[in-house]
Amino acid sequence: MSVIPLTPLDLSIAASLVLVLALLSLHLRLRLFRPMVVAAVRTTAQLLLVGIVLKAVFENVHPAWLGLISIVMLGVAAREVGRRQKLRMKGGWGFGVGAASMFLSSFSITALALTVIVQVEPWYRPQYAIPLLGMLLGNTMNGIALGLDRLSQSAWEQREIVESRLILGQTWSQAIDDIRRDSIRSGLIPIVNAMSIAGLVSLPGMMTGQILGGSPPMEAVKYQILIMFLIASGTGFGTIFAVWTSSRRLFDERQRLRIEDRFQRG
């Protein structure tokens, strides 16, 4: 069973729906017309560019190409983590924490999946490596961004409570433990919800794509279960690392809260 090709007219019909929605938002004064149109244009341009790049990579399989693409993906994801924060870490800490968290979680889990679980030959085969890494990075990025945003906002709003705990003799870790715990939970809620409704309320993207591409439904289901578990573990490990590292950054070497010195308004 082959994939039914889409024509430019088919994509134009889908694009017209987005345009109608953008016009409706203009009528309702939602101030989303321009962002929605720009996002649609960016989506088209970026995906077409990715298609061209992947076509070339698939035709010239080499670990160097995979490494280059992975670095670009990681850099963009780390930048997005910093941009999504209302209170951003000063200097390069925001970028560094995001990049380190995603590298340690997403890259290690992708390598495990390719070499041990799926056992791709060669392990850097781009048809498997790039989609797996992309899904892990995207979801881990969201979890880390949510966790860090919750951490910085809560620490700022409850700074007097944290300082009172320090005065009473608690360590920095004890003083911010409940905030850190809630921040990690915030980062994990989306993937927990996604796993809870998978197959009942929604058909995940990878499974849908495989079925449309002609794969047997049960094979698509098995791959989707694998992906959901990998995403959950990657998001969890990455969020925990990022929140723990950033929570320590809120205090100086004498365990004094220094949130005003560490963060700036985004």
What global pTM score does this model have? 0.81
Specify the range with the lowest mean pLDDT, choosing from 38-47, 65-74, 205-214: 205-214
pLDDT top residue among 72 and 5: 72
Q: How far apart are CA 161 and CA 172, in angstroms?
A: 12
pLDDT top residue among 236 and 5: 236
Say what the pLDDT of residue 66 is.
Answer: 86
Most confident among 40-49, 58-67, 210-219 (mean pLDDT): 40-49
Compute the average pLDDT of residues 243-255. 89
pLDDT over 70 at 160, yes or no:
yes
Largest CA distance in the chain: 69
Burial (CB count within 10 angstroms: exposed 0-12, middle 13-18, buried 19+), residue 134: middle
pLDDT top residue among 57 and 43: 43
Contact call for residues 204 and 228 (beta carbons, < 8 A): yes
Q: How far apart are CA 14 and CA 10, in angstroms?
A: 7
Confidence of residue 85 (pLDDT cuts 50, 70, 90): confident
pLDDT over 70 at 266, yes or no:
no
pLDDT over 90 at 188, yes or no:
yes
Measured distance between the N- and C-terminal CA atoms of the chain, rounded to whole angstroms: 50
Confidence of residue 240 (pLDDT cuts 50, 70, 90): very high
Say what the pLDDT of residue 265 is.
Answer: 66
pLDDT over 90 at 161, yes or no:
yes
Say what the pLDDT of residue 202 is.
Answer: 66
pLDDT over 80 at 32, yes or no:
yes
pLDDT in tens, 105-136: 999 999 999 999 988 888 888 888 988 998 89
Say what the pLDDT of residue 74 is.
Answer: 92
pLDDT in tens, 131-157: 899 889 988 999 999 999 999 899 988
Say what the pLDDT of residue 1 is.
Answer: 52
Compute the average pLDDT of residues 23-38. 92
pLDDT over 70 at 186, yes or no:
yes
Q: Compute the half-sphere exposure of residue 8: CA atoms within 13 Å on the CB side of its CA.
A: 1
Q: Compute the half-sphere exposure of residue 139: CA atoms within 13 Å on the CB side of its CA.
A: 30
Say what the pLDDT of residue 223 is.
Answer: 86
pLDDT over 60 at 253, yes or no:
yes
